[in-house]
Amino acid sequence: MTIELKAASKVTRGITHIKPTSLVLETGHFNVLLGQTGSGKTSLIKLMAGLDQLASGQIFMDGVDVSKLSTQKRNISLVHQFFVNYPQMSVFDNIASPLRVAGMAKSEISDRVAEAAKILQLEPMLKRRPQELSGGQQQRCALARAIAKESRAVFLDEPLANLDYKLREELREQLPELFAGRGAVVVYATSEPEEALLLGGKTALMDDGVVTQFGPTAEIYRNPANLTAAAVFSDPPINVVEVMSEKGSIWGGGNLTWDADARSASEGQYQFAIRPHYVTPNRQSDADVPVTGRIAVTELSGSETSAHFEVEGRSWVSLAHGVHPYKVGEDHTFYMNPANGLYFRKDAA
């Protein structure tokens, strides 16, 4: 099973929501759409689901053009960010409803519902109404409906965003095994880079209505194509400083300087970006370079301390394990290994 977009775009009332996008999504792994709110993840899913009309381009499922095919006939499932279930039906009827519409035999319906309910631990509440369940259970009910249908493609539009932290972690762990071996193309939209990394598979980075980069998640994390991609795939935001490469050394203003490497050997202006957890309060190796800045805010979250400070007029963040006594308003020297950073040519970006 594959879904292929060929220069698919969406325009509503003169506003372009999705610029022509080409993408091939396959089965066997999660296809994560990663992007900030408003980057077009939901629009893209709606296009693939046939809920919105294409302005141009085509969509193929298993090589067959489905661009003109109605949503009902595409044989897909969709789980929304909000817990959407049929309020007048019991949980059993909710899970069974797509099967009933398809005209499946009663015995098979009850088998499939039982199986889905078992996997998602909904067995004790099959007779209840969705609104009598907790948020997590409601979303599990929606997921059970998607699983029981055994459709060709499952679209999960930020399914965990409205759940509290504990439930989110629990359900996220279950998700990959839930869909493993079902043969459906799983598309998972999220705004959290961490989720993309945890789910693995492939990631399509979305920004301003276009897929900027698509490939195996880990690879995209390591080698973002441009600064926007790097910024999308970093939480807290990636640290950026403009640097100049000259005669084998890098200069970023003030005392900030280090040796150029293979990636930055050719002379010129670069944007240097480094993820917050590579900026540490202590020297880790001889290759480390000191970065000094005035501490603006510090936050202690569980076992990690984050410090916001200013480097060359830009706001930087350091994320380090353990508790570190930073003093707000004072200068502090952090260390980073430029080898962990990313270079983007200024003129190219």
Where along the sequence are the contacts to another protein (CB under 8 A)? 46, 49, 51, 70-72, 75-78, 80, 82, 84, 86-88, 97-98, 101-102, 142, 145, 149
Residues 6+ apart with CB under 8 A from 40: 17, 18, 206, 208, 209, 210
Minimum CB distance to another protein smaller for 87 or for 313: 87
d(Cα 40, Cα 21) in Å, to the nearest integer? Answer: 11
Give min distance, CB of 79 to another protein, in A. 9
Minimum CB distance to another protein smaller for 104 or for 244: 104
Minimum CB distance to another protein smaller for 31 or for 306: 31
Q: Look at the alpha carbons of 100, 106, 111, 114 in this order and tell me if their dihedral is positive or negative.
A: positive
Give min distance, CB of 112 to another protein, in A. 14
Minimum CB distance to another protein smaller for 53 or for 223: 53
d(Cα 166, Cα 155) in Å, to the nearest integer? Answer: 23
Minimum CB distance to another protein smaller for 71 or for 134: 71
Give min distance, CB of 46 to another protein, in A. 8
Q: How many CA atoms lie within 13 A of 152 on its CB side?
A: 17
d(Cα 315, Cα 239) in Å, to the nearest integer? Answer: 7
Task: Order across the sheet with 2-12: list the strands.
Answer: 15-26, 2-12, 56-61, 64-65
**Residue 30 CB-density burial (10 A; 0-12 exposed, 13-18 middle, 19+ buried):** buried
Where is 109: in which H helix or E strand?
helix 106-119
Give min distance, CB of 13 to another protein, in A. 8
Using only C-alpha atoms, what is the Rg of the chain? 24
Minimum CB distance to another protein smaller for 22 or for 88: 88
DSSP letter at 152 equals S
Give min distance, CB of 90 to another protein, in A. 13
Give min distance, CB of 98 to another protein, in A. 4
